């Protein structure tokens, strides 16, 4: 019983997932601090209103706090932009440097433009010699 559990836990996917969750939580804290401490004050300086949570309207004695929603949307957009520009783009550029070009395994038929094997002498789709 314990052997099966041990094999499950030590399987590569479970360990990788656990590491990803822990690193993701720590990275989320860093990104949240970056947005809260650096990007939000820049927007507050431009808009001249650092907090929208006081914005609201009332209908039939029901108070709608649309300012909190605006704060949440702005926070989400800033976090998404920060992650994209400071993580996704640099990591993609880094990975592109180390990506090996694989030789093509197919060629185009000159007649019908479909993909055929490199060693084919006739096209499987139009039967033209290549």
| E strand or H helix that includes residue 57 | strand 57-59
Domain boundaries, the chain: 2-99, 104-130
Q: How do residues 74-109 score in pLDDT, each as one tens digit? A: 778 877 887 788 888 988 888 888 877 777 788 888
Q: How far is CA 90 from CA 10, 17, 85, 87, 93, in A?
A: 31, 22, 7, 6, 5
Q: Which of the listed CATH numbers 1.20.1300.10, 3.40.50.970, 3.30.565.10, 1.10.1200.120 matches domain 2-99?
A: 1.10.1200.120
Q: Tens-of-pLDDT digits for all 130 residues of the chain?
A: 778 877 776 676 776 787 788 888 888 788 778 777 777 778 778 877 666 777 889 999 998 888 878 877 877 887 788 778 888 898 888 888 887 777 778 888 888 888 888 888 888 888 888 7
State how far the Cα of 127 lies from the Cα of 109, in Å rounded to an integer: 10
């Amino acid at each position: 019983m314990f052997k099966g559990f041990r094999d499950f836990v030590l399987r590569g996917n479970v360990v990788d997932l656990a590491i990803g969750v822990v690193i993701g939580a720590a990275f989320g804290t860093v990104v949240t601090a970056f947005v809260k401490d650096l990007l939000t004050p820049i927007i507050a300086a431009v808009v001249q209103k650092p907090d929208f949570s006081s914005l609201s309207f009332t209908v039939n004695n029901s108070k709608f706090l649309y300012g909190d929603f605006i704060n949440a949307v702005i926070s989400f957009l800033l976090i998404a932009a920060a992650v994209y520009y400071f993580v996704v783009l640099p990591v993609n550029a880094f990975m592109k440097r180390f990506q090996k070009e694989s030789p093509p395994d197919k060629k185009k038929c000159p007649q019908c433009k479909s993909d055929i094997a490199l060693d084919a002498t006739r096209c499987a789709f139009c039967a033209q010699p290549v």
